[in-house]
Amino acid sequence: MMQNVFTKTLERITKETGLVGGVAIVFKNGEITFAAPYGYEDRENDIPMTLNASFDIASCSKAWTVMLAAQAVDEGLIGWDEPVQHAMKDFDMPDHYAGAHLSIRDMASHRSGLPCHDFMRNKVGESRRNLMLKCANLDASAGFRETYQYNNHMYIVLGYLMEVLRGGESWESQIKRNIADKLGVETIRFRGLPGNMDNLERALPYVSDGYAAHRCEYSDSPLSGPCGGIKLNVKDLSKWVMAMARGGVCESGERLCSAAQYAAMTSPVIPSPEEDMDSLRGCCYGLGWHTGVY
């Protein structure tokens, strides 16, 4: 009965929004109770969607970056509220007080005072270190720790911080070694790495812009992995979701991070009332996670 409801709902959403294709999955009591592909991986060539298709998980990648930070806190490499200047000596912001006091908690909860500045990561940056240095010249649009302003740039800097703390090991390598391998994830790929999607079933990108969906190019800036660059299929994504539902515990029983750091990630840090909706109230942002009352 419920499967029919889900299927009809997906059909209605697809028709109303013009979505080309996707995959839906439902969990209950630690089990997958519904999983279904719909639409097309490639509409022009009439290739149907399957559960094996890989997608960009976009900004859901932020939570993986924060998990690396949680592990760094567990390892004693840094604290959530420790100034990141302690590790990145040449980091600064136009407001030098903010530059000297900015912490991982500030970066991960979007309360640095910086607005999007998305042009920088897509068009200007030469490296993650370079984007970190550019923070010294990026104008703020709010006071430090004053309000929630969604910001991808700081997540790239957070990814770079993880590289600094772990002796230059790339963010991509850390994500695979410290999270994906522990979860048993097999299809993980990263934005912008040449050939990394070869021989992998994947959903092609489409954009609607409020109109009929049409094919577009992949968003493939190699620098933006920490804010939105993970790609995998729903089977592997479900392993991450289930581990988080278990409090940061893999199916094997291994913890991705301590219970204390899991609580830090998923606890509200700053209100984000503009994200309230009919079905979700009291919205706040934690560390890489939205929170609210459903």
Q: What is the pLDDT along the chain (294 residues), one digit of tens a residue?
A: 667 888 888 888 877 878 899 999 988 888 888 898 989 999 999 999 999 999 999 999 999 999 999 999 999 999 999 999 999 999 999 999 999 999 999 999 999 999 988 776 666 668 999 999 999 999 999 999 999 999 999 999 999 999 999 999 999 999 999 999 999 999 999 988 766 777 889 999 988 776 778 888 887 788 999 999 999 999 999 999 999 999 999 999 999 999 999 999 999 999 998 888 888 889 999 999 999 998
The answer to whether 97 and 144 have CB atoms below 8 angstroms apart is: yes
Task: Say how many C-beta atoms besides its own lie within 10 A of residue 52's C-beta.
Answer: 15
225 in the same domain as 193: yes
Q: By the 8 A CB rule, do 114 and 77 touch?
A: no
Token representation of residue 200? 């992998």
The residue from 165, 187, 218 where one domain ends is 165
> Are 140 and 6 part of one and the same domain?
no
**Domain span at residue 219?**
2-62+170-257
Task: Give pLDDT, residue 127.
Answer: 93
pLDDT value of position 90: 98
| β-strand pairing of 189-190 with 281-285 | unpaired
Q: Is residue 71 part of a domain?
A: no
Measured distance CA(132)–CA(88) in Å, rounded: 9
pLDDT of residue 7: 82
Same-domain check for residues 94 and 224: no
Last residue of a domain, which of 128, 145, 165?
165
3 state SS of 9: helix
Pick from 165, 194, 224: which residue ends a domain? 165
154 lies in the same domain as 288: no
Map tokens 């939105």 to a residue.
228
Same domain, 19 and 145: no
Q: Tell whether 286 and 227 lie within a shared domain.
A: no
Q: What CA–CA distance (Å, rounded) separates 107 from 92?
A: 13
Nearest residue to 121 via CA among 168, 158, 87, 83: 158
In a domain, 31, yes or no: yes
The answer as to whether 239 is a domain residue is: yes
Decide if 113 is inside a domain. Answer: yes
Helix, strand, coil share of the chain (percent; to 5): 40, 20, 40
What's 13's domain CATH number? 3.40.710.10
Q: Say how many C-beta atoms besides its own lie within 10 A of residue 275's C-beta.
A: 14
Contact 99, 140 (CB under 8 A): no
One domain for residues 198 and 220 = yes
Cα separation, 110 vs 104, in Å, equals 10
| Residue 86 sits in the same domain as residue 157 | yes
Q: Are residues 84 and 148 in the same domain?
A: yes
Residue 68 lies in a domain: no
Residue 69 lies inside a defined structural domain of this protein = no
Indicate whether 33 and 92 sit together in one domain.
no
Q: Are residues 84 and 159 in the same domain?
A: yes
Question: Tell me, what's the pLDDT at 46?
Answer: 95
- Tell me which DSSP letter residue 193 carries: -
User: What is the domain count for the chain?
Assistant: 3
Distance CA 280, CA 292 (A): 6
> Strand 21-28 to strand 31-42: parallel, antiparallel, or no bridges (unpaired)?
antiparallel
| 61 conformational bin, left if phi > 0, alpha if psi -120 to 50, beta if neither | alpha
| Residue 172, C-beta contacts closer than 8 angstroms, at least 6 positions apart | 190, 193, 225
Answer yes or no: are the C-beta atoms of 292 and 276 closer than 8 Å: yes
- Rounded to an integer, what distance in angstroms lies between the CA atom of residue 256 and that of residue 250? 7
Based on the domain organization, do 129 and 104 belong to the same domain? yes
For the chain, how big is the Rg over CA atoms in Å?
A: 19
